[in-house]
C-alpha cells in the first residue's frame, strides 16, 4: 500500500477532514496517511519540505470546500494565486509527479473550472472528483472513495501463486529450446560433414579482392519483452540501479502501453526508443491497460525508490 497525502484548508474543510483522516487510517494504517505540515522543522524552506513530503506519497486527496479557490489573505489577495500558498504547492507537486490526484467536494462546493485556477493547477479541473456529504450519506460516499483507492492499489499476487508459475515457465523455456534446436531422427544434433577440399591450379593466379562488408540487416530482431512487464520484480532485480534508471523503468511500464508524459526528460527518453508508439495523453491514459503484475511492479519500484532516501 502506498502513502496518501490529504491536502485541505483549515478554514474551508476542517469540519470533515478529521473524519476522513480517521477512516483512511483505519482502512490503510496511520503510517500511510499524511495530513498536516505542522511537523516541518523551524528554519527550513517550507516549499522544499512540502515538495519532499508529497514526493514520498502515491495519492493526493484534495479536499475542496466552498471557499477553496476564493479565500484571501490579510492583504486581500486570493491565496490560490500566491505561488507560496502551501496548498497550491501541495497540489502542484502532485500534478507535476503525475500521481493520482482525487478532488473531494465537500459541503455545497463545486470543482473549480480551468479559468478559476493558475496555470500550474489547471489540470486539476479535469480530474474526476467525488463528493463526500454529511450523514446520512457520509458512509456510502466514503466507501466509494475507498473503492477507487483500492482500484488504484490492487492487492499484490500471492507468493504461492508466483512460485506455482515458475515451473511452468521453466518447462515452456525447455520446450522452446528443444523445438528450435535441429536434431537427427535419434534426437541428437547431427555433426556436420566437412566439405571436400578442391585444389585448383591456374597458370596465372589473379589476386582475389576481399569481399565488401555486408550491409546491416534492414529488419532488426524483435526486442524481448522486459522482465518487469511479465513477472513480479524482487529487490535483486533493482539492486545497484540509479534513481534515474529506476524512474525510467517504472515509467516504461506505462510507455509500453503508449502513454505520453508531462515530464520532458521522460518523453525525450522514450521518443528515442524504437518500440515506443505514443497513443494516450497523460491525463487520458486508461490504467486498466496495465496487468496486475505490471501495476504491482509500478508500486514495488516506487516503494524501493522511497527506501533509497
Would you kindly state where each structural domain of the chain is located, as residue ranges?
Answer: 4-152, 158-178+227-309
In the predicted structure, residue 159 carries a pLDDT above the cut 80: no
What distances in angstroms separate CA 130 from CA 124, 156, 203, 258, one per listed residue? Answer: 13, 26, 94, 28
pTM: 0.50
| pLDDT over threshold 50, residue 266 | yes
- How confident is the model at residue 108, as a pLDDT? 81
CATH of 4-152, one of 3.20.20.450, 1.10.3720.10, 3.40.50.10140, 3.40.50.150: 3.40.50.10140
Of 21 and 163, the structure prediction assigns the larger pLDDT to 21
Contact at 8 Å (CB) between 149 and 59? Answer: yes
Candidates 43, 142, 124, 32; CA nearest to 87 is 124
Lowest mean pLDDT segment, chosen from 132-136, 149-153, 175-179: 175-179
Q: Which three cell numbers stand for residue 269?
A: 527518453
Whole-number Å distance between alpha carbons of 51 and 26: 26
Pairing state between β 33-34 and 4-7: parallel
Residue 202 is predicted with a pLDDT of 53
Of 58, 73, 105, 114, which is closest to residue 295 (Cα–Cα)?
Answer: 58
| DSSP 8-state assignment for residue 113 | P
Confidence class for position 250, pLDDT limits 50, 70, 90? very high
Q: How far apart are CA 258 and CA 15, in angstroms?
A: 42
pLDDT band with cut points at 50, 70 and 90 for residue 217: very low
Cell of 116: 478559476
Alpha helices in 56-109 (DSSP H): 86-97
Choose the weakest-confidence range: 26-35, 36-45, 139-148, 177-186. Answer: 177-186
The CATH architecture to which 158-178+227-309 belongs is Up-down Bundle (1.20)
The yes-or-no verdict on residue 281 having pLDDT over 80 is: yes
CA–CA dist 145, 149 (Å, integer): 6
For 106, counting Cβ atoms within 10 Å of its Cβ (0-12 exposed, 13-18 middle, 19+ buried), the class is: buried
Q: Which of 92, 1, 7 has the alpha carbon at shortest distance from 51?
A: 92
Note the pLDDT of residue 307.
80
Average pLDDT over residues 198-220: 53
Amino acid at each position: 500500500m502506498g502513502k496518501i497525502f490529504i491536502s485541505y484548508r483549515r478554514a474551508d474543510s476542517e469540519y470533515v477532514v478529521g473524519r476522513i483522516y480517521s477512516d483512511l487510517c483505519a482502512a490503510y494504517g496511520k503510517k500511510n496517511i499524511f495530513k498536516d505540515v505542522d511537523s516541518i522543522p523551524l528554519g527550513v524552506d517550507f516549499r522544499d519540505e512540502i515538495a519532499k513530503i508529497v514526493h514520498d506519497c502515491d495519492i493526493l486527496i484534495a479536499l475542496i470546500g466552498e471557499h477553496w479557490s476564493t479565500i484571501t489573505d490579510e492583504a486581500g489577495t486570493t491565496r490560490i494565486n500566491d505561488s507560496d500558498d502551501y496548498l497550491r504547492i501541495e497540489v502542484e507537486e502532485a500534478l507535476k509527479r503525475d500521481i493520482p490526484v482525487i478532488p473531494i467536494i465537500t459541503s455545497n462546493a463545486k470543482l473549480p473550472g480551468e479559468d478559476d485556477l493558475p496555470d500550474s493547477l489547471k489540470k486539476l479541473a479535469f480530474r474526476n472528483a467525488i463528493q463526500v456529504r454529511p450523514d446520512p450519506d457520509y458512509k456510502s460516499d466514503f466507501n466509494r472513495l475507498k473503492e477507487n483507492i483500492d482500484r488504484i492499489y490492487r492487492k499484490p499476487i500471492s507468493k504461492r501463486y508466483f512460485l506455482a508459475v515458475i515451473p511452468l515457465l521453466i518447462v515452456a523455456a525447455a520446450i522452446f529450446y528443444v523445438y528450435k534446436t535441429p536434431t537427427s531422427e535419434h534426437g541428437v544434433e547431427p555433426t556436420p560433414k566437412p566439405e571436400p577440399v578442391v585444389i585448383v591450379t591456374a597458370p596465372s593466379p589473379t589476386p582475389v579482392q576481399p569481399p565488401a562488408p555486408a550491409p546491416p540487416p534492414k529488419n532488426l530482431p524483435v526486442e524481448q519483452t522486459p522482465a518487469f512487464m511479465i513477472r513480479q520484480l524482487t529487490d535483486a532485480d533493482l539492486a545497484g540501479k540509479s534513481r534515474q534508471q529506476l524512474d525510467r523503468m517504472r515509467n516504461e511500464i506505462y510507455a509500453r502501453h503508449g502513454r505520453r508524459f508531462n515530464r520532458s526528460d521522460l518523453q525525450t527518453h522514450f521518443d528515442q526508443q524504437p518500440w515506443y508508439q505514443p497513443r494516450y495523453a497523460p491525463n487520458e491514459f486508461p490504467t486498466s491497460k496495465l496487468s496486475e503484475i505490471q501495476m504491482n511492479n509500478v508500486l514495488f519500484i516506487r516503494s524501493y525508490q522511497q527506501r533509497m532516501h
